[in-house]
Amino acid sequence: MASVLGQFLRRSGTLVRTSCTTQARVASGLLHIQQHSSSSSSSSSMVEESTTPPESGRMSKSMLAYQQRAEAHDKFMVEQVAEYEIGRRHLANMMGEDPETFTQEDINAAIQYLLPSGLFEPSARPSMKHPSEVFIKKKAAEFDASGRPFHTFFYTGYPAFYEALHELGKTMISLEQFANKMARLKVESETSQAFNPGGTEWRSKGELSKMFLEELHNKHYVFFIQSMNRLLEHPYSSRAEDFIMRFRKVVLSRQSKEEIPKLLYTAEGVPYMTGSGKRKHAEATVTVYGRGSGKIEINEQDIRFFELIQDREQVVFPLQFTNLLGKVDLVANVTGAGLSSSAGAIRLATSLALQSFVDEHMREKMRLAGLLSKDFRIKERKKPGQKGARAKFTWKKR
Amino acid sequence: MDYVSEQMKNTLKHPDYFKVSELFTVEDLFNARVHLGHTEGSLDEHMSQFVFGSRLGYLIIDLDQTAGLLRDALNFIAHIAFRGGIILFIGRTPQHQLLIEDTAKECGEYAHTRFWQGGVLTNSTVQFGCVTRLPDLIIALHTMNNVISQHTAIRDAAKMLIPTVAVVDTNCNPNLVTYPIPGNDDSAASVNLYCKLFKAAILRGKEKRKELLKL
């Protein structure tokens, strides 16, 4: 098995070596890791002598060379993709899968199985990716044989980026004209015509750079976002939604993903919910009973289980916040040392249980108040050479 | 090849081959407020030859001189377009940025109304990462970046022997400009007129190129 694998990898590895990348090779116990390389070094090695005589001036010779380089790169990519496909089919056969339906995920799983790696860094482990992901995507030739650039804003250095800004300006002007027209006709809409930015956020600088295939600087990005925000503020910006959404990505809120458990009912029909929470080394399980009268029971004791007012307030706070103070009963069981941490654990458990009792709006308010977040703070360890976690031994000048 | 060079020589025999003088009149210039200059205090000494006089402290540009220089400039632009030259529009005022860019798009030429990177003309191979063909003509709607500093392209074009056509206001320095057009560069009406005229000249040149040289 290993010999067959080695043979296959060596075969597919030889051609790829010329372009400064090596697929995973197993040869007498040595593992070579795939490296990402810039395609510029590879393409520069493929500059060929211009065979056709120059038409006029030395410009066309370099233009022709540039075009030939672009063509060579395209040819190279076609070869790489063909090799990748052959490799993929071999891998599928090796794993006993159908080559037709062997996806990239299957390839990743197969490589992980065949060549297990204990390396920490994911990009250092062996992998087999599609050539378009390995070789950086470059812009196609930006001018024709006579040297005239294709894009109007070529000389700015960032044509695609400034094209987007140009379109932004035109959009702003058209929205202004529309607003004036609406004002003249005295048309007022009841619902807001402004773009709703909920659930989406601006793409990052890296994502925009990838989109435009131009390395943007921070000042470019900042100016772009400022300008786009001004567009969003316009009362009729929903008319430009298509343009705006090109530069925004959908962000799912974690809250909507998590399912809030439905209320449970006792034999008598009393609604209740259980929640569990932790704080430092204290663990609490709390059952909140609806249709109650505000009774609080902690480890079969009253609220006086806690002597400090602060701890009592911590227990009561979630009920106060959701206005359910005298309306629900609380039964808590807490283990683990420490009174203050027990109070914190009960607070978290209560809040999690109360989620089922309240509506979405209140749930969001609870989340923002920090009631639903576990307090992860624990005692920091003592370090050698120091008196405590942070405290140092007495410093002596001499 | 011979036919092309002969056609090009023919066009140079006529003083106004593309009839650019028909594109505007002095009255058009007046209506577009081209004659309105800045205050007397901001007058550049090299512009005093183009000044007609002043009224209530504001300078008036001599439109007869402007008309003649504008005709020369438009003629030159048309010839460059006829020979398939790359024309780059520049200007740094945000009010007219979009208009200049649109003008360039509509006549199939190039525009740069954004932050000017130092090596665009003088270090183009490094700037663009490959050997680039530089513009054959630069048309500047505004020669100044702000009230104080001049646009780098004016000086760099002179360094790289690229001819320039520029609208120069009373506070601008016309020295390095090949074809200066003394006129107001701040009013929307005047900038609109210039863009319209430049576009018309370029399109005329390109039309003749298609017709005569079949390119």
pLDDT (tens digit per residue) in A76-132: 999 999 999 999 999 999 999 999 999 999 999 999 999 999 999 988 999 999 998
**Which parts of A322-370 fold into alpha helices (H)?**
339-354, 360-369
Q: What is the pLDDT of residue A36?
A: 35
Chosen from A153, A155, A165 to mutate, greatest number of chain B CBs within 10 A: A155
Q: What is the mean pLDDT of residues A361-381?
A: 93
Interface residue A170 vs chain B (CB under 8 A): yes
Buried b (16+ CB within 10 A) or exposed e, B50-70: bbbeeeeeebebebebbbebb
Of A148, A158, A169, the CB nearest to B98: A169
What's the CA gap between B182 and A376, in Å, rounded?
72
* pTM (two decimals): 0.69
Residue B67 has pLDDT above 50, yes or no: yes
Q: How far is CA A72 from CA A39, A53, A75, A136, B88, in A?
A: 12, 20, 5, 15, 31
Residue A375 has pLDDT above 60, yes or no: yes
Quick check: A38 and A59 in contact, CB under 8 A? no
Q: What is the pLDDT of residue A52?
A: 32
Interface residue A160 vs chain B (CB under 8 A): no
Considering A127-141, A362-376, B104-118, the range whose residues carry the highest mean pLDDT is: B104-118
B59 phi, psi to nearest 5 deg: -80, 145
B108 Cβ partners below 8 Å, 6+ apart?
A: B202, B206
Min mean pLDDT across A34-43, A185-194, A242-251, B141-150 is at A34-43
Q: Which residue of A has its CA nearest to B104?
A: A152
Going by pLDDT thresholds of 50, 70 and 90, the confidence category of residue A54 is very low
Quick check: B113 and B101 in contact, CB under 8 A? yes
ipTM: 0.95
Going by pLDDT thresholds of 50, 70 and 90, the confidence category of residue A256 is low
Q: Nearest C-alpha of chain A: how many angstroms from B97?
A: 9
HSE-up of residue A223 (Cα within 13 Å, Cβ side) = 13
Interface residue A54 vs chain B (CB under 8 A): no
Contact B109 A147 (CB under 8 A): no
Quick check: B10 and B175 in contact, CB under 8 A? no
| pLDDT tens digits, one per residue of A207-219 | 999 999 999 999 9
Q: Nearest C-alpha of chain B: how many angstroms from A11?
A: 36
Q: What is the pLDDT of residue A255?
A: 59
CB pairs under 8 A between A and B: 53
What's the CA gap between B94 and A173, in Å, rounded?
13
HSE-up of residue B214 (Cα within 13 Å, Cβ side) = 3
Q: What is the pLDDT of residue A104?
A: 93
Of A143, A158, A170, the CB nearest to B133: A143
Q: What is the mean pLDDT of residues B144-166?
A: 96
Q: Which residue of B has its CA nearest to A168?
A: B98
What's the CA gap between B185 and B90, in Å, rounded?
13
Name the strand (E) or helix (H) holding B68: helix B63-82
Going by pLDDT thresholds of 50, 70 and 90, the confidence category of residue A25 is very low
Question: Left if phi > 0, otherwise alpha if psi is -120 to 50, otherwise beta: which for A264?
Answer: beta
Q: What is the pLDDT of residue A189?
A: 80
Contact A166 B101 (CB under 8 A): yes
Of A320, A366, A365, A318, the closest CA to residue A346 belongs to A318
Q: What is the mean pLDDT of residues A268-276?
A: 94
| pLDDT tens digits, one per residue of A289-347 | 999 999 999 999 999 999 999 999 999 999 999 999 999 999 999 999 799 999 999 99
What's the CA gap between B18 and B78, in Å, rounded?
7
Bridge partners of residue A265, in order along the sequence:
A271
Sign of the torsion formed by the C-alpha atoms of A324, A330, A333 and A335: positive
Sign of the torsion formed by the C-alpha atoms of B208, B103, B162 and B167: positive
Q: Which residues of chain A does B98 touch, with a Cβ-Cβ cutoff of 8 Å?
A: 166, 169-170, 173
Going by pLDDT thresholds of 50, 70 and 90, the confidence category of residue A63 is confident
| pLDDT tens digits, one per residue of A353-368 | 999 999 888 998 999 9
Of A59, A162, A173, the CB nearest to B114: A162
